[in-house]
A = this chain, B = another copy of it.
Amino acid sequence: MFLLKPRWSDLDAYNHVNNVTWLEYLQEARVDMLFVHAPDRGAEGLAEGVLVVRAEIDYKRAMVFRQAPYPIEMWVAKVGGASFTVAYEIADDDGVGNRLVYGRASTVLAPVDMASGRPRRLTPVESEVLQRFVE
């Protein structure tokens, strides 16, 4: 789980976290997973370069500027030969036992060879590391 602290500058003219910024929140969560946690486990290549090839987001409830961070749960939904899918849920608790879901999303990601800039297949080690994030 990644904790994302909203910034005042994330607000748009409607005083809500702008719909564009949601995708930034997902990016920060994913970077944390790929740059920080995956390399610890032997998949350094994923930190070097991954392209987003598809994104989808369902917005359920507005996020606002607040002191408490928004929790983002994240898991690998699918591992393919040359791509993998990360799913996300932004949700917290209303303090009396109910789960408040702000939104759900998924992104399809493809590793790239940084020298050539071209997509490449996942290595066996990368696939194995990603499998550990499958829920």
* Residues of chain A whose beta carbon lies under 8 Å from any beta carbon of chain B: 5, 7-9, 11-15, 18-21, 23-24, 27-28, 31, 35-36, 49, 51-59, 67
Given contacts A13-B15, A56-B56, A58-B53, contact A27 B31 (CB under 8 A): no
> Is B14 a contact partner of A12 (Cβ separation < 8 A)?
no
Whole-angstrom CA separation of A67 from B12 in the bound complex: 18
Complex contacts, A36 vs chain B, CB 8 Å: 67
Docked complex Cα distance between A19 and B28 (Å): 12
Please indicate the chain B residues that have their CB under 8 angstroms from the CB of A12 in the complex. 8-9, 11-13
Tallying the copies of this chain within the complex gives 4
| Contact among B11, B54, B58 for A13, CB-based, below 8 A | B11
A27 and B52 alpha carbons, distance in the complex (Å): 19
A24 engages B5 (CB within 8 Å): no
* Alpha-carbon separation in the docked complex, A9 to B11 (Å): 9
Q: Which residues of B contact A18 (CB under 8 A)?
A: 9, 27
Distance A39 CA – B40 CA, assembled complex (angstroms): 43
**Bound state CA distance, A20 and B36, in angstroms?**
20
| Residue contact B7 to A28, C-beta cutoff 8 Å | yes
Inter-chain contacts of A13 with B (CB < 8 A): 8, 11-13, 15
5 A-B pairs in the complex with CB atoms less than 8 angstroms apart: A8-B31, A12-B13, A20-B24, A23-B55, A55-B57
